[in-house]
Amino acid sequence: MMNVADTNPNHSAKPTQELSLVLVPLLKGVLYQEDNPGLWGSLLNLQASIRDYVAVLGLELMLDEAEGYAFLRSRPDDDGDGQSAIPRLIARRQLSYPVSLLLALLRKKLAEFDAGGGDTRLILSRDEVVELIRIFLPAGSNEVKLIDQVDTTLNKIAELGFIRRLRGQGQMIEVRRIIKAFVDAQWLADFDERLTEYRQQLAQSPEETDG
């Protein structure tokens, strides 16, 4: 005897719709548990289906349940000549030195913050960010230009999803924990060497800002 549900066109509509509701935000950027707990729950329930679906597109799901974020990234190139057989849906981004430098400084600050075992949210003022980056700029840098550069760089990093400005507190930012997925432990192990390189670059072009 045929099950009535098997002939009902709406039988699989709900799971398919739920899958779409999760996939669309993921294809646009990072999904955070704190921003949308309901969608996050759907993601956890459907993660096997999501992994299968995005694999067809040459992507993989990066999910950190402990930190509460998920995003898609292109799968590592796996053929011998380093050329991916699948066209990239998510392109690699070349970051400017100011953006890379500030990302590194914020990641190190987050590591120090976590080691302190206090609050789970790292909140910094713009003035604190300016002080973080000041020592890596040429001596005598114009203060107004420095602040403008920091604002420009923070805006770019906010667009990338690594920080967010607090509502009603334009000079305060929260460092989002997804930064740990992009600036990893090995990167931090080479931190001093990398900062020396950044400082040399910035000394050669002190007026550079990210475009």
DSSP secondary structure letters along 19-73:
HHHHHHHHHHS-EETTT-HHHHHHHHHHHHHHHHHHHHTTEEEEEETTTTEEEEE
- pLDDT band at residue 27 under the 50/70/90 scheme: confident
Res. 189: pLDDT tops 80: no
Are residue 46 and residue 101 in the same domain, yes or no?
no
Half-sphere exposure of 135 toward its Cβ, with a 13 Å CA cutoff?
Answer: 6
Q: Any idea what the CATH number is for the domain that residue 20 is in?
A: 1.10.10.2250
Neighbour count for residue 118 (Cβ, 10 Å): 9
**For 79, which DSSP code?**
S
Are residue 45 and residue 133 in the same domain, yes or no?
no
- Residue 37's pLDDT is 92
Q: Token digits for 8?
A: 């009902």
Are residue 125 and residue 197 in the same domain, yes or no?
yes
Are residue 128 and residue 161 in the same domain, yes or no?
yes
Residue identified by tokens 């910035």 is 202
Write out pLDDT tens, residues 3-13: 544 445 444 45
Domain membership of residue 147 (yes or no) is yes
Classify 9 as helix, strand or coil: coil
Are residue 64 and residue 25 in the same domain, yes or no?
yes
Which residues are CB-neighbours of 180 under 8 A, at least 6 positions away?
67, 107, 110
Are 170 and 129 a contacting pair, CB within 8 Å?
no
Are 173 and 166 a contacting pair, CB within 8 Å?
yes
Res. 167: pLDDT tops 70: yes
Are residue 186 and residue 116 in the same domain, yes or no?
yes
Write out pLDDT tens, residues 124-137: 999 999 988 887 76
Domain membership of residue 87 (yes or no) is no
Are residue 111 and residue 182 in the same domain, yes or no?
yes
Are residue 111 and residue 196 in the same domain, yes or no?
yes
Name the residue with higher pLDDT: 148 or 82: 148
What pairing do the DSSP bridges indicate for beta strands 31-32 and 69-74?
A: antiparallel
Are residue 70 and residue 110 in the same domain, yes or no?
no
Are residue 68 and residue 118 in the same domain, yes or no?
no
Average of pLDDT values for 33-60? 91
CA dist 190 and 111 (Å) reads 14
- pLDDT band at residue 14 under the 50/70/90 scheme: low
Are residue 57 and residue 109 in the same domain, yes or no?
no
Res. 141: pLDDT tops 80: no
Q: Domain range for residue 69?
A: 12-74
What whole-number percentage of the chain has pLDDT above 90?
18
Classify 122 as helix, strand or coil: strand
**For 7, which DSSP code?**
G
Name the residue with higher pLDDT: 6 or 200: 200
Q: Any idea what the CATH number is for the domain that residue 143 is in?
A: 1.10.10
Sign of CA dihedral 135, 137, 138, 139: negative
Total domains in the fold of the chain? 2
Sign of CA dihedral 126, 101, 32, 87: positive
